[in-house]
Amino acid sequence: MRMDAHDIAFEYVTVLDEPMIFTCLRVDPKTIPEGLYHYEVRHDDEGWGDPVQIAEWVMVNHWGTLISATPIKLTPNLQGTNSYRDIDPEEDWHYEGNSITLDEYILLTQDGRK
């Protein structure tokens, strides 16, 4: 089941040096406001729970959903059915320790653009 993004408390994260929000839930992309970008995150095969890939969608090893105010450059797979980007969980992913709502993130990113 996919959740409405407005009903979730997200974790504030920095991914690829950009402020983003993350949840371990699957979020319905139709509930993401225009101007924000929706991605799914895959965790490692070893089961340590490290985020290792950002993609348009994830079926296996789903770690969660990432929402960003800036687009992430993804590479299409050979079949052209999905796009992804491998990440290093130590270098590219940082939990900031704060809980944040979608509306708070929108305000935060709008303030940063002024």
The pLDDT mean for the chain works out to 93
Q: For position 114, what pLDDT does the model report? A: 38
State how far the Cα of 68 lies from the Cα of 86, in Å rounded to an integer. Answer: 17
State how far the Cα of 60 lies from the Cα of 114, in Å rounded to an integer. Answer: 39
Residue scoring higher pLDDT (81 or 40): 40
Site of tokens 């993804």 = 74
Pairing mode of beta strands 93-100, 75-76: unpaired
Percentage above 70 pLDDT, the chain = 96
